[in-house]
Amino acid sequence: MLVMANSLIGTPVLSMRASARVASLGAPVVDPESLKIIAFYLNDSRSGEILDARSIREYSAYGVVIDDETDFISHGDVIKIDKVLDLNFSLIGLKVETKKGSRLGRVSDFTVTSDNFSLQQIIVRRPAFKAFLDPTLTIPRREIVEVTDTKIIVKDEEDIIRARAEKEDFIPNFVNPFRKTEAHARSDK
């Protein structure tokens, strides 16, 4: 299931051992190389605690389920997470441009899968002069070319159209009963 990243903030963290809510999710920690949420800062818990996304057993309408509070970590416990935390990287607010340099806007949100929290789409808030026609853009992960500290570079519109045209080998295998075809025209005579 696809989930908006901003909607994850405030989601209850439920402990199986305590059979209760032990915290709530804070801001996600996104790895810029893999474009996955690898951890979450925690609200309502001891100062500076983080939840490794691999510790989440299940995401549901009630919250995220973990074994117990021993799954919470601190800065310095997991090297991979520490490296990403030291980058101070955030997808929200990054500029989005095409390969040719056309400005599309800034990332306002992104969607992830609920099973492994990998990025699937970015939601781009358009600049004021472009927002009248199209206030937001949804850009799929496959169109992302590069992620830097300050911007996300996506394929140009011409590249996207060309890629779609190459995949246009689709031949419909249905017949519209309301449209007259040559065979229907001959049978009507």
CATH of the domain at 128: 2.30.30.240
**Domain of 119?**
95-160
Q: Provide the pLDDT for residue 121.
A: 95
CA 48 – CA 42 distance, rounded (Å): 8
Average pLDDT, the chain: 84
Domain end residue (candidates: 87, 121, 152): 87
Confidence class for position 171, pLDDT limits 50, 70, 90: low
Tell me the per-residue pLDDT of 86-115, one tens digit each, with 9 for 90 and over. 998 999 999 999 999 888 899 999 999 988
Give Cα separations from 116 to 66, 129, 136, 143, 180 (angstroms): 14, 37, 26, 20, 49
CB atoms within 10 A of CB 150: 9
CA 57 – CA 49 distance, rounded (Å): 18
Question: Is 82 found in the same domain as 58?
Answer: yes
168 assigned to some structural domain: no
182 assigned to some structural domain: no
pTM of the model: 0.77
Tell me the per-residue pLDDT of 50-80, one tens digit each, with 9 for 90 and over. 999 999 999 988 999 999 888 898 888 888 8
Question: Is 53 found in the same domain as 26?
Answer: yes
Structural domains in the chain (count): 2
Look at strands 95-98 and 151-154 and give their pairing. parallel
Query: pLDDT at residue 119 above 60?
Result: yes
CA 20 – CA 168 distance, rounded (Å): 52
Question: Is 130 found in the same domain as 109?
Answer: yes
Domain end residue (candidates: 87, 115, 135): 87
Q: Provide the pLDDT for residue 61.
A: 85
